[in-house]
Amino acid sequence: MPGTAEADTTPDEYEAVLTAAAAAAPELAAMAPTDRAAMLRAVATALRTHSDELVPLADEDSSLGTARLAGEVDRTAVQLEMFADAVEEGSWLEAIIDPADQDAQPAPRPDLRRMLVPLGPVAVFGASNFPFAFGLCGGDTASALAAGCPVVAKAHPAQPRLSGPYAHVVSDALHSTGAPEGTFAVVHGMDVGRDLVTDPRITAVGFTGSTTGGRALADLAAARPTPIPFYGELGSLNPVFVTPAAARTRGKEIAREFLGSVFLGAGQFCTKPGVLLIPEESDLEDVLAAEAATAPMRLLHAGLGVAFRRLSADLAGFPGVRTITAPTPEDGPADPLAVRPVLVGTTMATLAEHADSLLTECFGPFGLVVSYADPAELVPTAQLFEGTLTATVQGEDASDPHAAALLAELGGATGRLIWNGWPTGVAVSWAQHHGGPYPATTTMHTSVGVTALRRFLRPIAYQSVPDPLLPPALRDRNELGIPRRVDGALTTADVTR
């Protein structure tokens, strides 16, 4: 299995890929749920089978470590298997049947049947920080395939060794199940991303990356003659609020757990807790100063190193900000990927005055610690944050006097509220939501969990269509055995006329 960089996709190759994806869309949409589920499970099995070949390539590209990456392969496989289970279970189709009713009020009602159907070919832009789980066959690709949409994935330039072999494993597995030609393909090159977003054959885009890059592509998608949905995961600060009661009883524990979370993976998690808010009278900052890691950590690529050194130095030197651990000097170490962890502190008053400057995501091992003198400042401070993927409250118990109001305020601007936990680590489950108000994501949808399928589906209603001409999910006989809402009630029973 080769591990060399792939050449940029030529215009002729690009055209062939998009033509094949468009041709595959009707066949993939019509595929029986059991066949589509088998397709997803085959990819999961293939990734596990080839893990020992793929992981070293990903490590060469990313320096994330083979243990972490092997776990990520398994997470990716589990995710595919979860979507396979969901496809067979069928509730994601949202099948609704209202039989004709001459006595309906205020007027007789025709036979109406509604369900979700695939959009068509989807473009996916994978992330550099999770080469497998958010990469070429990560959550965006898995959910699009589960929904019945062909995928054209753009290879990340920071994964030159992994991208080709990863794509071949996925393509071969799909081919082995009889998936239509064009179900999955990968394209390479800096300019091809713009081409994908503006291509009329692409019906939606999944993106994980920077706010700047994602917003530029989102604007392109919106400016098309026929705009398409752009599902982007961009940036998030993921604040953690520590109540006075929690600081008194668990202060040292909270400080140590924060360090483990903020510096996990060299701070290159989208769910990194970038801001910690602590009581002024607590000793949490002393613990952070004494126990914070100081050894250099390696970032994913040199561009991140340049950006991290510049931004972390700017934030550390901002008026009213104090240094807890020193940033890397501007000229940096000999290794362009290596940076030292940075923790800085400030007061709630300074944050409130300069929120636009200080509440800036610094991707990498950086954290901002904010001390407050009065717990009454917590709710107003929560209002300073733009949309986030997560928000955490470290409280004492349900009777904590500041918890309820803080949770209520944070819930208005985040996708996942966490109590006495840490945001790094996003469980693959049916109930998971990995998204949030802008700029965390560009829409209300999730990129993790079964409901991620909804991004690549649209509703259609059939009125008075003869039963044999209906999709199987909406026919009188429930041959798929899926949950359906008939006359307002959920059931798996057949429709009786």
Residue 37 to residue 145: CA distance in whole angstroms = 10
Q: Is 270 a catalytic residue?
A: yes
**What's the order of all strands across the beta sheet hosting 151-154?**
184-187, 151-154, 122-125, 204-208, 230-233
Residue 64 to residue 311: CA distance in whole angstroms = 22
H helices present in 180-331, as ranges = 192-198, 211-223, 244-262, 284-291, 302-316
Residue 134 to residue 152: CA distance in whole angstroms = 14
H helices present in 354-420, as ranges = 355-358, 378-382, 403-410
Among 6, 72, 233, 285, the one annotated catalytic: 233
Residue 324 to residue 290: CA distance in whole angstroms = 9
Tokens of 364: 């990498």
211, 157 Cβ separation under 8 angstroms? no
Q: For residue 361, how many other CB atoms are within 10 A of its CB?
A: 21
Report residue 115: phi and psi, to 5°. Answer: -155, 175
156, 135 Cβ separation under 8 angstroms? yes
Among 137, 149, 270, 362, the one annotated catalytic: 270
Residue 465 to residue 473: CA distance in whole angstroms = 13
Which of the residues are catalytic? 233, 270
